[in-house]
Chain A
Amino acid sequence: MWKLARYQLRGRRLLYTVGLLIMAALTLFEATEFIGMRQDPAYSAPVSIGVPATMAICWVIFYGVMTIINIVTYTQDLYGDTGYLIFGLPLRGAEILGSRIIVLIIDTIMTLLGGMSSVILLACLAPGLGEQVRPVVGRFLLTGDYWIMCLGVLAVIVSFMSIMFFGVTFGKSLVNSRKHLGSVFSALVVMTVLWLSLKAGIWLETTFAGWDLYLDPWRNLPSIIVDGKGPIQFPFLAPLMFVGLGVLAFVLTAWLMDRKLNL
Chain B
Amino acid sequence: MSTVVQLNDLTKRYIMTTALSDVTLDVSEGHIVGLLGPNGSGKTTLMKILAALVSPTSGSVLIDGLVPGVATRAIVSFLPDVNHLDRWMTVAEAGDFYADFYRDFDRKRFQELLNIMGLSMRQKIGSLSRGMVEKARLCLVFGRRARLYILDEPFGGLDPLARGQVLEALVANFRTDCSMILSTQMVSDVERFFDDVIFLNKGCVVLAGVAENLRTERGTSIEGIYREVYGHVEAR
Contacts and interface: CB of A to CB of B under 8 A. Distances in A.
A87 B76 CA distance: 13
A82 B101 contact: no
A4 B54 CA distance: 21
Given A82-B86, A263-B48, A7 B100 contact: yes
A20 to B, nearest CB: 18
B84 interface: yes
Contacts of B85: 82, 85
A263 B55 CA distance: 9
A89 B53 contact: no
Given A90-B102, A176-B14, A261 B88 contact: no
A156 B82 CA distance: 37
B74 A90 contact: yes
Interface string A221-263: 0000000000000000000000000000000000000111111
Contacts of A88: 51-53, 73, 78, 84
A91 B103 CA distance: 12
Interface in B53-102: 53-55, 69-71, 73-74, 78, 80, 82-86, 88, 93, 97, 100-102
Contact of B82 (A10, A14, A81, A258): A81
Size class of the B contact interface (CB-based, 8 Å): 20 to 34
B12 to A, nearest CB: 9
A10 B84 CA distance: 17
A83 B80 CA distance: 10
B66 to A, nearest CB: 12
A222 B174 CA distance: 69
A92 B69 CA distance: 8
Contacts of B101: 3-4, 89-91
A175 B102 CA distance: 30
Contact of B70 (A4, A7, A84, A91): A91
A91 B72 CA distance: 11
A174 interface: yes
Interface string A152-194: 0000000000000000000000111000000000000000000
A156 to B, nearest CB: 31
A81 B70 contact: no
Most chain-A Cβ atoms within 10 A of its Cβ — which of B15, B100, B101? B101
A258 B71 CA distance: 12
A123 B80 CA distance: 55
Nearest to A3: B100
A90 B73 contact: yes
A107 B69 CA distance: 31
Contact of A90 (B54, B70, B88): B70
B70 A92 contact: yes
Nearest to B140: A85
Interface of B: 14-15, 48, 51-55, 69-71, 73-74, 78, 80, 82-86, 88, 93, 97, 100-102
Interface of A: 3-4, 7, 10-11, 14, 81-85, 87-92, 174-176, 258-263
17 contacts: A3-B100, A81-B80, A81-B82, A84-B51, A84-B82, A85-B84, A85-B85, A89-B101, A90-B70, A90-B74, A91-B101, A175-B15, A258-B70, A261-B52, A261-B55, A262-B55, A263-B48
